[in-house]
Structure 1
C-alpha cells in the first residue's frame, strides 16, 4: 500500500476526483458513504501515483512509509475496509 487516509479526512472528494484509477472509496454514489468516518485507499488498486496527496485540503493522506507512528492504525483500517 502506498497511501493511507487518516481520520482528519472530511470526505471533500478531491482525492476521488484526482485518482486516475478510482481506488479511493466509498464514493458519494456508493452504499455506506454517509456512514463512513472517512475515505479509504484500496491497497490492491493504488498505483502509487500520488495524485491524491496535493489535492487534500486537510493533509489527511500519507505515504505509508511516512505515516506517523501515532497514526499507524490507519494503515490497517484502510486495508480492512476492502476485506
Structure 2
C-alpha cells in the first residue's frame, strides 16, 4: 500500500511532508512532489504534515484525483526526478 500526492500540491509544493518520511520516498518535480509507491511504507507520517491536504492513502484518493495514483508511480519510476529529504521554501512564497 502507498500514499499518493494529488492535485492540491500542484503549484504549491510545501515540503513539510518530506522531513518526516522515514524512507525518503518523495521526489521533486518543477511544480509538485510525488511519492514512489515502491518505496512508501504506508506509515502515514506525511499526511498530517501537508498543509494543503494533498496526500491520501491510495484507497482514499478522491474520485476526481484517481489519476494521481498512476501519475505518482510513473513520475517516480522514470528515475529522472531528484529525491527530496529536506524542507524547502514552497512555491509562491
TM over 0.5: yes
Choose which of 51, 59, 69 in structure 2 pairs with 1:57.
51
Higher helix share: 2
Partner of 1:62: helix, strand, or coil?
strand
Alignment of 1:64-83 (within 5 A): 64-83=58-77
Unaligned runs of 5+ in 2: 78-93
Output the TM-score relative to the length of structure 2: 0.75
Query: What is the aligned partner in structure 2 of residue 24 from structure 1?
Result: 26
Output the TM-score relative to the length of structure 1: 0.84
8 A Cα contact 2:26 2:35, kept in partner: yes
What is the CA distance between 1:15 and its match in structure 2? 0.6
Unaligned runs of 5+ in 1: 27-32
Report runs of 4+ in structure 1 exceeding 4 Å deviation. none
